[in-house]
Amino acid sequence: MKARAYRRLGIVLASLALVVGLAPWAAGQRATSKARARAGVRPRVAAKPDTGTTKGKDEAESDKVVRSEAEWRKVLSPFQYYVMRQKGTELPFSGKYAVGHFKGTFVCAGCGAELFSAKHKYDSGTGWPSFYQPIRRDVLETEPDYRGTEPRVEVKCARCGSHLGHVFPDGPPPTGQRYCINSVCLKLKPLSAPAAKEKESAKAKSETASEGEPETDTPPAPANAVKPGGAGP
* Active site members: 180
CA–CA dist 25, 124 (Å, integer): 74
Nearest one of 8, 114, 126, 26 to 62, comparing CA atoms: 114
Any residues with CB less than 8 A from the CB of 219 and at least 6 apart, and which? Answer: none
Nearest one of 2, 106, 161 to 10, comparing CA atoms: 2
